[in-house]
Amino acid sequence: MIQPTLQKTPDTSCPSNLRISQPPRGYRFTSDSVALARFIRISPSESLLDLCTGVGIIPLLVWERNPFWYAVGIELQKELAELAAKNVRQNHLTEKILIVQEDLRVFRFDSLDLPQRFPTVDRFDVISANPPYRAAGSGRMSPNSQRALARHEIQLTFPQLIKACQQFLKPDGRFCFVHLAARETQVLGNLKDHGFTIRRKEYSRTKGHKALLLIEAGYDPSSHQS
């Protein structure tokens, strides 16, 4: 079982020997991230970029199931990025996973001083994301700002996430993400408008009965509608 070093997450469990630190209050990863990690396919020769990485749970879980070449996780919120880096260290994966605190809407790899152990490349074989999936102003917004930013499209919309994928994904790469099944029509429309095609699609349901959509998409720059 996942063994949190702060407070136990009672609604999220999976076979794992990971040690995960999370905020005792604020954003905490859920079964959405676990479902996405199980959905991702990656080989030992491939690289992974995890957007909206939170406490780094997705690259850590993916590594346990399918070891990759290396991974970078990008997180906007300072406390979560610091915890993600801590989780990488305490699971002895600093040679494989790098955490970066940046706003992915403006981030560029050429502005980052990468450690020598990581390749100086700015495109990845696989991009993963468990993004904010509720539209700003919809549903109940948490009074906790950390949770609100992670769950609602306050500072990152899905089209903005897609634009980051266009920049960082290799031409033959895969974009894997989880979203609300209730927003499937909108999500699929956004992908098509930006030159992405669906390769795999699955549905899942969390313990709270929330219907999830899991998608693996490929990007064809020539089909992008400007």
CA atoms of 74 and 137, how far apart (whole Å): 25
Instruction: Summarize pLDDT for 21-52 with one digit per residue, the tens.
Output: 988 776 778 888 999 999 999 999 999 999 99
Quick check: is 198 in a domain? Answer: yes
pLDDT value of residue 1 = 39
Please tell me the pTM assigned to this model.
0.84
Quick check: is 14 in a domain? Answer: no
Instruction: Summarize pLDDT for 202-223 with one digit per residue, the tens.
Output: 998 766 557 889 999 999 877 6
Q: What is the mean pLDDT of residues 114-124?
A: 82
Q: How far does CA 188 lie from the centroid of its chain? A: 18
Does the structure show a pLDDT above 90 at 66? yes
Quick check: is 1 in a domain? Answer: no
Beta-carbon count within 10 A of 225 CB? 7
pLDDT value of residue 115 = 78
Q: Phi, psi at residue 55, to the nearest 5°?
A: -90, 15
Which helix (H) or strand (E) segment holds residue 214: the answer is strand 211-219
pLDDT value of residue 86 = 96
Average pLDDT, rounded, for the chain = 82
Using CB atoms within 10 Å of the CB of residue 177, give its burial: 0 to 12 exposed, 13 to 18 middle, 19+ buried: buried
The CATH code of the domain that includes 47 is 3.40.50.150
pLDDT value of residue 151 = 56
CA atoms of 175 and 183, how far apart (whole Å): 17
Domain encompassing residue 218? 27-223
pLDDT value of residue 206 = 64
Using CB atoms within 10 Å of the CB of residue 112, give its burial: 0 to 12 exposed, 13 to 18 middle, 19+ buried: middle
Instruction: Summarize pLDDT for 89-109 with one digit per residue, the tens.
Output: 999 999 999 999 999 889 988
Tell me how many domains the chain contains: 1
Quick check: is 93 in a domain? Answer: yes
What does the angle CA 208 – CA 213 – CA 215 come to, to the nearest 5 degrees? 145
* Range of weakest confidence among 76-90, 146-160, 177-191: 146-160
Quick check: is 105 in a domain? Answer: yes
* Range of weakest confidence among 87-101, 115-129, 164-178, 179-193: 115-129
Quick check: is 22 in a domain? Answer: no
Quick check: is 78 in a domain? Answer: yes
Quick check: is 206 in a domain? Answer: yes
Q: Which residue has the higher pLDDT, 4 or 97?
A: 97
